[in-house]
């Protein structure tokens, strides 16, 4: 009987860890479910640190309805975009919906954090939050 209970508990761990990223609060479990920030295979564009690289800021939040403001932004090639987590934690990525030659990128933001990126290749980039389906938008690079 003890083994059955242990299996039940251990079997539910992946579900709990998977749901940890949906929380609005910072927790140790969330750190284990996010993309590695210092990986040698990191896919972030240049200047992807926590320093703003332009006045173009995208604010990401979580409340009754997930939101991004603005949901569409236009920049010049080589200009920066600054992402800011005003509430909640976010795993922001652009891996599929990007122009040919455009680099895929992804990074994590905890509430209160921000990160700047620079995009060189012109075209339309669709970005999304892995934790919140409705958090996403478009970056048009001219």
Does the residue 130 lie in any domain? yes
> pTM (2 decimals)?
0.58
For residue 133, what are the domain limits? 34-141
Does the residue 92 lie in any domain? yes
Q: What residues pair up with 137 in beta bridges, in sequence order? A: 127
Distance CA 113, CA 69 (A): 16
pLDDT higher than 50, residue 21: no
pLDDT higher than 80, residue 41: no
Distance CA 85, CA 88 (A): 7
Distance CA 70, CA 83 (A): 11
Q: What is the CATH number of the domain that holds 45?
A: 2.60.40.420
Q: Structurally, how many domains does the chain consist of?
A: 1
Residue-level pLDDT at 142: 94
Between 81 and 50, residue with greater pLDDT: 81
Q: List Cα–Cα distances, 13 to 7, 89, 102, in angstroms.
A: 10, 21, 37
pLDDT higher than 90, residue 6: no
Does the residue 27 lie in any domain? no
């Amino acid at each position: 009987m003890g083994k059955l209970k242990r299996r039940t508990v251990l079997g539910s761990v992946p579900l709990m860890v998977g749901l940890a990223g949906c929380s609005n609060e910072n927790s140790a479990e969330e750190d284990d479910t996010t993309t590695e920030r210092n990986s040698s295979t990191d896919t972030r564009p240049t200047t992807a640190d926590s320093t703003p690289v332009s006045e173009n800021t995208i604010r990401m939040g979580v409340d009754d309805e997930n939101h991004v403001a603005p949901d569409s932004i236009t920049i010049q090639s080589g200009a920066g975009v600054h992402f800011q987590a005003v509430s909640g934690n976010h795993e922001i990525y652009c891996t599929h919906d990007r122009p040919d030659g455009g680099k895929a990128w992804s990074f994590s933001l905890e509430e209160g954090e921000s990160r700047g990126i620079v995009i060189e290749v012109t075209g339309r980039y669709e970005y999304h939050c892995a934790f919140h389906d409705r958090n996403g938008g478009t970056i048009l690079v001219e």
